[in-house]
Protein backbone atom coordinates (compact mmCIF):
# COMPACT_ATOMS: atom_id res chain seq x y z
CA UNK A 1 0.00 0.00 0.00
CA UNK A 2 2.82 2.32 0.88
CA UNK A 3 4.39 1.77 -2.53
CA UNK A 4 1.10 2.45 -4.27
CA UNK A 5 0.69 5.70 -2.29
CA UNK A 6 4.16 6.84 -3.25
CA UNK A 7 3.47 6.03 -6.87
CA UNK A 8 0.17 7.88 -6.70
CA UNK A 9 1.91 10.87 -5.14
CA UNK A 10 4.59 10.77 -7.84
CA UNK A 11 1.92 10.67 -10.53
CA UNK A 12 0.12 13.57 -8.85
CA UNK A 13 3.35 15.58 -8.64
CA UNK A 14 4.05 14.86 -12.28
CA UNK A 15 0.61 16.23 -13.16
CA UNK A 16 1.23 19.30 -11.02
CA UNK A 17 4.53 19.92 -12.79
CA UNK A 18 3.01 19.50 -16.22
CA UNK A 19 2.36 23.18 -16.98
CA UNK A 20 5.99 24.12 -16.25
CA UNK A 21 7.28 21.03 -18.02
CA UNK A 22 5.10 21.80 -21.03
CA UNK A 23 6.28 25.40 -21.16
CA UNK A 24 9.98 24.74 -20.63
CA UNK A 25 11.91 21.78 -21.97
CA UNK A 26 13.90 21.59 -18.72
CA UNK A 27 14.29 23.38 -15.39
CA UNK A 28 17.47 25.12 -16.55
CA UNK A 29 15.50 26.68 -19.39
CA UNK A 30 12.97 28.08 -16.92
CA UNK A 31 15.75 29.51 -14.73
CA UNK A 32 17.49 31.06 -17.74
CA UNK A 33 14.19 32.45 -19.00
CA UNK A 34 13.18 34.14 -15.76
CA UNK A 35 16.68 35.58 -15.33
CA UNK A 36 16.61 36.93 -18.89
CA UNK A 37 13.14 38.45 -18.50
CA UNK A 38 14.15 40.07 -15.20
CA UNK A 39 17.39 41.35 -16.77
CA UNK A 40 15.55 43.09 -19.62
CA UNK A 41 13.07 44.56 -17.14
CA UNK A 42 15.91 45.59 -14.81
CA UNK A 43 17.82 47.41 -17.55
CA UNK A 44 14.82 49.55 -18.43
CA UNK A 45 13.79 50.02 -14.82
CA UNK A 46 17.34 51.17 -14.11
CA UNK A 47 17.06 53.83 -16.81
CA UNK A 48 13.89 55.14 -15.20
CA UNK A 49 15.70 55.15 -11.87
CA UNK A 50 18.62 57.11 -13.30
CA UNK A 51 16.19 59.74 -14.60
CA UNK A 52 14.19 59.79 -11.36
CA UNK A 53 17.36 60.36 -9.35
CA UNK A 54 18.70 62.99 -11.75
CA UNK A 55 21.73 60.87 -12.69
CA UNK A 56 20.77 61.31 -16.35
CA UNK A 57 18.61 64.08 -17.83
CA UNK A 58 14.88 63.37 -17.97
CA UNK A 59 13.74 62.43 -21.47
CA UNK A 60 9.99 61.95 -21.75
CA UNK A 61 10.09 59.71 -24.85
CA UNK A 62 12.83 57.49 -23.48
CA UNK A 63 11.00 57.23 -20.13
CA UNK A 64 7.78 56.23 -21.84
CA UNK A 65 9.56 53.62 -23.97
CA UNK A 66 11.31 52.10 -20.96
CA UNK A 67 8.12 52.07 -18.88
CA UNK A 68 6.35 50.23 -21.72
CA UNK A 69 9.09 47.60 -21.70
CA UNK A 70 8.86 47.28 -17.90
CA UNK A 71 5.09 46.86 -18.20
CA UNK A 72 5.36 44.13 -20.82
CA UNK A 73 8.20 42.32 -19.08
CA UNK A 74 6.50 42.47 -15.67
CA UNK A 75 4.16 39.68 -16.79
CA UNK A 76 6.78 37.23 -18.02
CA UNK A 77 9.20 36.04 -15.32
CA UNK A 78 6.67 34.28 -13.07
CA UNK A 79 6.00 31.38 -15.43
CA UNK A 80 9.70 30.58 -15.00
CA UNK A 81 9.22 29.83 -11.29
CA UNK A 82 7.13 26.69 -11.79
CA UNK A 83 7.37 23.54 -9.69
CA UNK A 84 10.78 21.89 -9.87
CA UNK A 85 12.63 24.97 -11.09
CA UNK A 86 14.52 25.81 -7.90
CA UNK A 87 17.92 27.39 -8.58
CA UNK A 88 19.76 30.58 -9.40
CA UNK A 89 19.25 33.30 -6.81
CA UNK A 90 15.72 32.09 -6.05
CA UNK A 91 15.15 31.24 -2.40
CA UNK A 92 13.38 27.92 -1.70
CA UNK A 93 10.66 29.95 0.04
CA UNK A 94 9.34 30.87 -3.41
CA UNK A 95 7.99 27.33 -3.57
CA UNK A 96 7.17 26.83 0.12
CA UNK A 97 5.39 30.20 0.42
CA UNK A 98 4.20 30.36 -3.15
CA UNK A 99 1.01 32.35 -2.48
CA UNK A 100 3.05 35.13 -0.88
CA UNK A 101 5.47 35.12 -3.82
CA UNK A 102 2.59 35.34 -6.28
CA UNK A 103 1.16 38.26 -4.32
CA UNK A 104 4.45 40.11 -4.78
CA UNK A 105 4.44 39.32 -8.50
CA UNK A 106 0.87 40.62 -8.88
CA UNK A 107 1.75 43.73 -6.92
CA UNK A 108 4.63 44.47 -9.28
CA UNK A 109 2.41 43.96 -12.31
CA UNK A 110 -0.02 46.50 -10.85
CA UNK A 111 2.74 49.02 -10.12
CA UNK A 112 4.07 48.59 -13.66
CA UNK A 113 0.66 49.58 -15.04
CA UNK A 114 0.75 52.76 -12.93
CA UNK A 115 4.38 53.39 -13.90
CA UNK A 116 3.57 53.22 -17.63
CA UNK A 117 0.61 55.56 -17.10
CA UNK A 118 2.80 57.98 -15.15
CA UNK A 119 5.50 57.94 -17.84
CA UNK A 120 2.85 58.85 -20.42
CA UNK A 121 2.17 62.05 -18.48
CA UNK A 122 5.57 63.21 -19.67
CA UNK A 123 6.75 64.97 -16.52
CA UNK A 124 9.51 64.03 -14.12
CA UNK A 125 7.44 64.43 -10.92
CA UNK A 126 4.88 61.83 -12.03
CA UNK A 127 7.64 59.45 -13.07
CA UNK A 128 9.50 59.86 -9.78
CA UNK A 129 6.43 59.04 -7.67
CA UNK A 130 5.55 55.95 -9.70
CA UNK A 131 9.17 54.84 -9.87
CA UNK A 132 9.45 54.96 -6.08
CA UNK A 133 6.33 52.83 -5.59
CA UNK A 134 7.48 50.28 -8.17
CA UNK A 135 10.99 50.13 -6.73
CA UNK A 136 9.45 49.42 -3.33
CA UNK A 137 7.58 46.50 -4.84
CA UNK A 138 10.77 45.09 -6.41
CA UNK A 139 12.66 45.46 -3.14
CA UNK A 140 9.98 43.84 -0.98
CA UNK A 141 10.03 40.71 -3.14
CA UNK A 142 13.84 40.62 -3.44
CA UNK A 143 14.21 40.98 0.35
CA UNK A 144 11.96 37.98 0.93
CA UNK A 145 12.69 35.73 -1.99
CA UNK A 146 16.07 36.45 -3.58
CA UNK A 147 19.48 35.34 -2.35
CA UNK A 148 22.24 37.91 -2.65
- The whole-angstrom separation of Cα 143 and Cα 54 is 26
- The H or E element containing residue 106 is helix 98-121
SS3 assignment, position 128: helix
Alpha-carbon gap, residue 51 to 75, rounded angstroms? 23
Q: Is 140 in the site for a copy of itself (CB under 8 A)?
A: no
114 binds a copy of itself (CB under 8 A): no
Exposed/middle/buried for 137, CB within 10 Å: 0-12, 13-18, 19+? Answer: buried
Q: At closest approach, how far in Å is the CB of 68 from a copy of itself? A: 9
Cβ distance to a copy of itself smaller for residue 75 or 120: 75
Q: Does residue 109 interact with a copy of itself by CB under 8 A? A: no
Measured from the CB atom, the residue of 32 and 107 that comes closer to a copy of itself is: 32
Segment 14 to 73, residues that bind a copy of itself, using CB under 8 A: 22-25, 29, 32-33, 35-37, 39-40, 43, 46-47, 56, 69, 72
Residue nearer to a copy of itself on the CB measure, 29 or 97: 29
Q: In sequence order, which residues have a C-beta less than 8 Å from that of residue 83 and are 6 or more positions away? A: 13, 16, 17, 20, 95
**What residue ranges bind a copy of itself (CB under 8 A)?**
22-25, 29, 32-33, 35-37, 39-40, 43, 46-47, 56, 69, 72, 76
Amino acid sequence: MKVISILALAAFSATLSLPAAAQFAKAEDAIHYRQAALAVMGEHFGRLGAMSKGAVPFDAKSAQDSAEVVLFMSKLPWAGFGPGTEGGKAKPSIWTENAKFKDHASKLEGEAVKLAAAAKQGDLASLKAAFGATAGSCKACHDSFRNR
